[in-house]
Amino acid sequence: MKYLNKILSFLFFLVILSGFNSYAQTLPVACGDGEVMYGVVGDNGNSTFYWEVTGGTFIDYNDSILVTWNDVAGMHYIKVTEENIYGCIGEQLVDSVIVTIPFVDVGLDAEICQGESYTFEADASTVSFYLWEDGSTGETFIATISGDYWVRVEDANGCTAADTAALIAHELPIVDLGPDTTLSDDASSILFDVYNDGAIYDWFNGDISSSYTAYAQTIDQEIWVNVTSDFGCVATDTVVVRSYGEIEIPTAFTPNDDGINDVWEIEQLFVFDKVTVDVYNRWGERVFHSDGYTADQYWNGTNAKGKKLPMDAYYYVIDLHNDEEPIVGTVTIIR
């Protein structure tokens, strides 16, 4: 703990030299580790003064002294004796000084994970004012980033003390499984690698290795992993892996409202969130567009205005938006 703001001021003994009878005034409170000047009044310049101080050290200027009080709180004493030019020694004057030392402790250095917070508490006694490094004045301070955090306190006598503690905010492990993805027969597996030096791994299926390979299945897979660093910081990520076989695209359908084959159904497209489907007539005019292609979006053989299109062959472009070339072909409306 370090004490701040050393005080330098003049405080006087009142020493009346009349037959060596003297008295002293009450001395004010001093701060531990502070400097205070004490002196006598009434000296004609011909006397010699002998000083004694308990609880501090001093520099002697004959009729005054500069005292540096130590860091021990309590009652301390200043004593002075005068000897005049005739060798006569007066009665020793003794006065007391109360030395006060405020106390503050913000605790030990602390460690957290990024995204967490830590509350420093200023454990202090006989304190009337707190000041943290950001200018706040509460008894506690909430920190979220690495750094040194200090608080200064002041008691009713204006004496101050300070303490500092460090906070380390450890980085989270790096965990990135990438975007949701889709597997086909031509890409039947995908490797997820989340290696971090010294980390512990916990996959959704209980695997504890740093990597996991997902294979094509008939249902969607929600894959997640928790990665715990050597300090204990945890990061997690989740990805959905969809699977599909060969996309089966009907070459014709019969939108005659008989409840059979009334829409152009391409079931496997539902796994592609960003798929777009565009259909054009023989003159290159787009007659149908869809962002995504689920059951409630299937083309029913009408144009954008809901008008039934004539029986004919139509050109389609299906873009899966998965870095593969769009799928193109023709579909025929039969009425």
Give the CATH number for residue 142: 2.60.40.10
Q: What is the pLDDT of residues 20-63, one digit of tens each?
A: 334 445 578 899 888 899 988 766 678 899 999 999 999 999 98
- Name the residue with tokens 């004012």: 129
Q: What is the DSSP letter of 89?
A: B
230/201 Cα distance (integer angstroms): 11
End-to-end CA distance of the chain: 93
Q: What is the pLDDT of residues 268-298, one digit of tens each?
A: 888 788 899 999 999 999 999 999 999 999 9
Q: What is the DSSP letter of 268?
A: G
Q: What is the pLDDT of residue 268?
A: 81
Whether the CB-CB separation of 192 and 186 falls below 8 Å is answered with no
Q: Looking at the 3D structure of the chain, how many domains does it have?
A: 4
* Residue 234 shares a structural domain with residue 190: yes
* Residue 49 shares a structural domain with residue 129: no
> What CATH number does the domain containing 315 carry?
2.60.40
- The residue out of 243, 260, 282 marking a domain boundary is 243
DSSP β-ladder status, 64-69 and 35-39:
antiparallel
Q: What is the DSSP letter of 297?
A: G
101/108 Cα distance (integer angstroms): 21
170/182 Cα distance (integer angstroms): 35
Q: What is the pLDDT of residue 8?
A: 31
- The helix/strand/coil state of 279 is strand
Q: What is the pLDDT of residue 333?
A: 96
* Type of residue found at 85: I
Count of all residues that appear for the chain in the document: 335
Measured from the Cβ of residue 327, the count of other Cβ atoms closer than 10 Å reads 16
Q: What is the pLDDT of residue 12?
A: 39
Q: What is the pLDDT of residue 20?
A: 36
- The residue out of 67, 100, 133 marking a domain boundary is 100
- The residue out of 100, 128, 158 marking a domain boundary is 100
Decide if 192 is inside a domain.
Answer: yes
- Name the residue with tokens 């873009």: 319
Q: What is the pLDDT of residue 243?
A: 80
Residue 245, CA distances (Å) to 183, 217, 219 in order: 8, 9, 11
**Full domain range(s) for residue 233:** 181-243
292/270 Cα distance (integer angstroms): 7
Question: pLDDT class for 11, splitting at 50, 70, 90?
Answer: very low
Q: What is the pLDDT of residues 168-179, one digit of tens each?
A: 999 999 999 999
* Residue 83 shares a structural domain with residue 149: no
Q: What is the pLDDT of residues 110-147, one digit of tens each?
A: 999 999 999 999 998 888 899 999 999 999 999 999 99
Q: What is the DSSP letter of 53?
A: E
Question: Lowest-pLDDT range, 38-47, 80-89, 124-133, 218-227?
Answer: 38-47
201/199 Cα distance (integer angstroms): 7
Q: What is the pLDDT of residues 238-247, one digit of tens each?
A: 999 988 777 8
109/70 Cα distance (integer angstroms): 27
Residue 269, token pair as written in the block: 């497209």
Residue 51, token pair as written in the block: 């000083």
Helix runs in 105-259, H state only? none
36/105 Cα distance (integer angstroms): 26
Please check the confidence at residue 311 and state whether its pLDDT lies above 80: yes
Decide if 2 is inside a domain.
Answer: no
